[in-house]
A = this chain, B = another copy of it.
Amino acid sequence: MLRISQLLVDLYGCGAELDDTGFLMGVLEEAADVVGARIVRRVAERFSPVGVSVVLILAETHLSVHTWPELGYAAVDVFFCSEGKDPHRAWEVIKGALRPESFEVREIVRTIGNKGE
């Protein structure tokens, strides 16, 4: 049994380029690296006319960002199912890169594994 924190963050008024797939991929890679998470798959999808989804599948679950560049909005999920990988450190990397004017962080504690153990 493992109790971990997942972060769901809404970012408003981002100063960064939210329609740049390569940039967003790099941001998530850096966020994974800072906590020592292992990236097993990189997925990026561009929408028409604008908008990007980037997901990193990790050995420790996932990191995702979905953007609405026309609104300056991004939705970020930070989910590390491993002890000692602080999602707040990853979020700090993402915040520094996307430069939101404001944001809302929700921290959800999840019990991974067998509740009885």
Binding site for B on A (CB under 8 A): 6, 8, 10, 12-13, 40-41, 43, 45, 47, 53, 55, 57, 59, 61-62, 64, 66, 68, 71-73, 75, 77, 79, 81, 102, 104, 106, 108, 110-115
Contact = CB atoms under 8 A, between A and B. Distances in A.
B61 A62 contact: no
A66 B45 contact: no
21 contacts: A8-B110, A10-B111, A10-B112, A12-B114, A13-B114, A40-B45, A41-B43, A43-B43, A43-B57, A47-B59, A53-B57, A53-B62, A55-B55, A55-B62, A61-B75, A62-B64, A62-B66, A66-B81, A71-B113, A71-B114, A75-B110
Is chain A's binding surface mostly helix, strand, loop or mixed?
strand
Contacts of A113: 68, 71, 73
